[in-house]
Structure 1
C-alpha cells in the first residue's frame, strides 16, 4: 500500500530530528574534550618553580637597592655626564642601570646598548679569548714567541729566545714598564713599533718581574695572525663576542666612530665638556682597543659565571685566574678600597685578596673614558661600570659594591649561625 503524503513528511521529520540529536551529542563530546585538554586547565599545567639563583636573587634585592641608592646619589652629585653599571649573579643579570647622556651638549640618553671604550679593561677580554684559544689548542701559553715569529728580536738573545705567550699576557716580558707607549699614543703603526722592540730597554729576564705593558701584551695579535690567518679583531668576534651575545662590541675606531649610539668622551668633574673622538690605542687593540656597551659587558660576565653555558672550560679558566706574578701597586691605585691583601696578575686580570675573598679585577682609562670590572667567583658575582666622564665615582664603583656584598654575606652568615644555635638549644631542652 502506498504511504500517504502526510506519512512521508512525518518520516522525514523523524530522520531530521534523529540526525540533529546525533550531531548535538558529537559537538558536546568534542567540546568537553577540548575543555579538558585546554592548556589553561589548572590541573594540567604544572606551576613553574623558580630556580635556586632566582630565589637567592630575590633575597638579595635589599643589597642591590642599597647599591642603587648609593651610586645614583654619587653620580648625580658628581655631575657625571653618562654612565652605566651592571651586576650579574650566576646565570642572571641581577642589576643594570644607565645614567645621563651620551654627550654633554645632547639630550640623547645612555641606554644599555650605548657603546663606551673599555681602555685597559680590554685586557680582561683578551685574557678570556686566550683561554678559549688555548682550550682549542690554537695557542699554548708556554710556547715561545719566536716559534711563531722567527724574525722577532729583543735587546738580548736570552730574552728573545725565552719569551713566551704567558709572559706577554702576564706583563712579565722583562721590558721596562710601558715600553713604547709614547709611540702608541703618537699613532705609530704597530708593525713599526714591532721593529723597534729590538732596542727597547730590558730590566729583567722573562717571567721574573712584573712590568705593565701595552705593546708587548698586544703582540698576541701578531702571533694569532701568523697561526690562524685571522687577526685579533676577527678571532675575538668569532670566539667570544658572537657566542656570548656581545652584539654591540667591536675593536676598531671606525666601528666606534660610525655607531649611532656611542658615548662621547669628557674631561673634568662637574663642569664637563665633550671632546672630539680620538683613535689613540686602537693600534694595540688587545690591550686597550675594545668598544662595548653595558649589555655586552653583562653578557661577558655571564660567560664567566654561568656554569650551564661556560665559554671557558674549567682548566682554561683556572689558568687565566691563577696568579703568575706579584704586581706591587701603590696604595693610591686602590685608594677607595679597604685594605687590599696580596696583589698579583694572572692572564689579563689583576688578582687581589680582598676581605678574605679572591677578586679578579681590572680598571681602564683612555681619553675621557673609564671602565671598571670585577669578578668574585666565590660569590658567583660580577660587576662592571662604564662612563664617559671619568671621576672618583668610577674608582669607587667596584669597591663600594664589594664592601656592601661582603657585609651582606657576613650578616647572612651570622643570622644563619644564630638560628642554628637557637634550634640546637630547643632540641636540648626538649630531650
Structure 2
C-alpha cells in the first residue's frame, strides 16, 4: 500500500527508518574468534577506510575496534571539514544521530539496575503529564514500549515540530494530538520522540535532566570525557567533525543540526576512542575495569528482540528491535547494532557480535553514504573467514538511492502546470492561522510575495511560490532544496482564506490550520 504521508514527510521518515533498517548483519551462532584472526583483519580495514576517503566517498572517518576488554584499533582518516585543515583522529567528536539510542538504552539499564524504575514501569507513574492520543495506551505505555517503538505512535510524529524549532517539552506535550498508526503494542513504528519520551520519563525520578543523568550514570564512570548529550558541548570542541552533504566528490559543510529536543534518540556526540570504552562495558555485560557498573540482567534486557522488522534489505539477515538496539540473525551469528544518520550530513554505525566478543564503531561526517556498513561488513567477513563479497557498493547504493523516488515524484507532481490558474489577491491569504499540533502560522507579504512563518515566534520562515489557484509551494528541507511541500488555502464566502492546509503535517490529519 502506498504511504499517505506527503513526500517531504516521507523524506524525513526515511532517514531514521533506513538508519535503523539498513543495519550491519545479524545472527545464528558465532564461534569465539582468536585475537590473531581479528588482528589479521585490521590492515584491510585500515586500507579500505583510507581508500574510501581518498576516493571521496566521505570527507572523514573514525573507527574503533574492541575485542573483549581490549581496544585493538582506533584511528581517524580524512578531514573534519572538507577543504579546510584539521585532520580526523580517534579523538574527533562526531554527532552520532540515532546511534544515540543504544547508548541511551545503556543509561536506562543503569537506572533499572539502581531500582529507580523497572523496564515495565508505566510512563504515567514516572511522568503523569505524558499523554498519547488514546486513554488506554496513555495509562499502560511503559518505558519498554517506548524504547522498542511499539507504543503505536507514528514514526515521524514530532520530527517536523523539531525542524521548526520547538523544544522538547512542547513536542512531547503535543504527541497527545497524534492519531496512532497501529494498535497499542501491535505494530513497530520507529519514533524518535516516542523513544525520547521513554528515556526522559526514566530519568524523571532522579529529579535531574536527562543529559546530566547520562553523564553521571555512563559517560563519567567510563571516562568518556568527550561525550555528551548536549549540543553546546559538541560545538565547544575544536576537534569536531562538521556535517557534509552533496555526494562523493562534492562534499560541503552547508547545514547544521541541533538535536537537543531529541537528545536521547539522536543527540549524543562522541569520539571513536570514547565509544570504545562503552563497547568494553557492553561486551563485559556491565562490568568495567573490574567494577560492576550495571547489573547483567538489566543490560541484557536491552539486547532481547522484541519487535520484528523483517529482513535487512542489504544483507538479508532477520532483523528485530530490542531496547535501543537492532538485533539481527545472519551469516555470522547474532549481532547487536544500530546505525545513525542525519540527512544534513552524518552517518554512524555500531555493530557487536557478542558470541565472538567483538565490536566496531564507524563514524562518518557525510550523508548519503554506506561507507560505515561497507567497512564493517567487510571487516567481519574477514574476521569470520568469509571475505570476498563487495559490501561497499550495495550499501552506498542503498543510501544514495533513498531520496531519488521521492524527488522524482515531487518533480512530476509539481511540474509547472500548462495552464496555471491565477490566485486570489495576496491580501486574501494573509493572516494568522493555528491548530493545537502545529501551533501558530502567519502568512504575510514579504519580498514582493508571500511568506509562511512557523515555529516559536515565527522563526522558521519560508517564501511561498504560487503554483495554481490557491495552492502554493514552499521548501522545508534545506539539504534537498528541490523537494517542495504544498500549502493549500481554503477561501470562505468573503473571499478570504478561512484555513490553510500544510501538506507536510497532514499525513496524520493535523495539517489544517484555521484562521484566527
Q: Distance in 2 between matches of 1:408 and 1:311?
A: 36
TM-score (norm 1): 0.77
Looking at secondary structure, tell me which structure has more strand per residue. 2
Worse-superposed segment, 288-297 or 314-323? 314-323
- Do structure 1's residue 126 and structure 2's residue 126 form an aligned pair? no
Report what 2:364 is aligned to. 387
> What are the Cα deviations for residues 68-120 of structure 1, in whole angstroms up to 9, with x where unaligned?
22332233223421111111000111112210111113211111211000000
TM superposition shift of 1:286: 0.2
Aligned to 2:341: 365
User: What residue in structure 1 maps to residue 321 of structure 2?
Assistant: 345
User: Are 2:217 and 1:239 aligned?
Assistant: yes
Match of 2:256 in 1: 277
Distance between the aligned counterparts of 2:322 and 2:85, measured in 1?
41
Query: Unmatched 5+ residue regions in structure 1?
Result: 1-54, 410-431
Q: Deviations over 1:182-217 (max 9, x none)?
A: 112222111111221221121333322111001110
Matched residue, 2:299: 317
Q: Which has the larger radius of gyration?
A: 1
Are the counterparts in 2 of residues 88 and 302 from structure 1 also a CA contact under 8 Å?
yes
Aligned mates of 1:217, 1:356 — CA distance in 2: 29
Structure 2 alignment gaps of length 5 or more: 1-32, 388-516
Per-residue Cα deviation, 1:249-273 (whole angstroms, up to 9, x for no partner): 0111211112111111111212212
1:33-52 correspondence runs (5 A): none
Give yes or no for contact 1:369–1:389 (8 Å, CA) kept in 2.
yes
Closer, same or farther in 2 for the Cα pair 1:194/1:80, shift >3 Å? closer
TM-score by length of 2: 0.64
Match for residue 205 of structure 2 among 227, 247, 262: 227
Equivalent residues, number: 348
| CA–CA separation in structure 1 for the residues paired with 2:312 and 2:66 | 29
Q: Which residue is 1:147 aligned to?
A: 125
Give CA deviations for 1:277-333 in whole Å, capped at 9, x if unaligned.
331x221100000000111111111111246625332211221101111123662xx
Match of 1:354 in 2: 330
SS of 1:273's partner is coil
Q: C-alpha distance in 2, partners of 1:251/1:164? A: 23
CA distance in 2, matches of 1:121, 1:222: 17
Q: Is the 8 A contact 1:57 1:94 kept in 2?
A: no
Distance (Å, rounded) in 2 between the aligned partners of 1:214 and 1:59: 38
Alignment-derived partner of residue 84 in structure 1: 62
More helix as a share of residues: 1
Measure how far apart 1:231 and its partner are.
1.2
Pick from 141, 163, 166 the counterpart of residue 185 of structure 1. 163
